[in-house]
Homo-oligomer: A and B are copies of this chain.
Amino acid sequence: MGRPSAKERKPYDGEAIADVAVRVFLERGYDGASLDDVARAAGITKASIYYHVPGKEALLARGVGRAFEALDAAMRERGAKSGAPAARLRHIVRRTIEITVAMLPEVALLLRVRGNTRAEKEIVARRREFDHVLARHFARAQRAGEIRDDIDPRLAARLLFGMLNSITEWYRPGGKLAASDIVEAVFRLAFEGLEPRRRS
């Protein structure tokens, strides 16, 4: 079957297929899901999928790529790039929560990937880079004396991301809880404990 060049593909069709693929990958696991499953869920033929994307790995990369792009963009925002280190850390935490809530399936898939294909390994590596970035922000805020320095910054980054990542496990869209409620709770639960203790 001849596949059209990248130019000839209609990007909005590829995106719609990626929407379905993300859902199918979450339901069956990326390993367990086939392109046939995606085609069935989308109500189209496998040939139609191949018309838009090269295959299963490309659908994973596209779906998860959306979440990575949003997170990367947040890291480049003014609030993450300038100002006091602790405020930048807070900005990243707030934006990560907002993006997780807004792109729940994509972020959930991003977090669940743990396989051995090239696409999966790239996702794991990119996820690890976020851990490092957060750990560096922690260390910088510690050096600035803005957060307590008696926690290893890598451990702190993992625990804090653990808290944020759990949102994909329990958040129900359309419920009463807004992203801002979670942001506030995380700031209260984690950050106010991270600030230097004031002795009374």
A181 engages B155 (CB within 8 Å): yes
A161: chain B residues at CB < 8 Å are 166
The complex places the Cα of A148 from the Cα of B185 at a distance, in Å, of 11
Q: Give the copy number.
A: 2
Complex: A164 Cα to B181 Cα, angstroms: 21
* Number of A residues, CB within 8 Å of B: 38
Cβ A190 vs Cβ B192 within 8 A: no
Complex CA–CA separation, A3 to B193 (angstroms): 56
Closest B-chain residue to A168, C-beta based? B162
Question: Which of A167, A181, A190, A198 is the most central at the interface, judged by chain B CB atoms within 10 Å of its CB?
Answer: A190
Q: A105-147: which have CB < 8 Å to B? A: none
Contacts of A78 in B (CB 8 A): none
Which chain B residue has the least Cβ–Cβ distance from A167?
B162
Q: How far is the CA of A158 from the CA of B151 in the complex (A)?
A: 22
Partner of A156, one of B29, B164, B165, B189: B189
* Cβ–Cβ < 8 Å partners of A28 in chain B: 31
Does A42 touch B at the CB level, under 8 Å? no
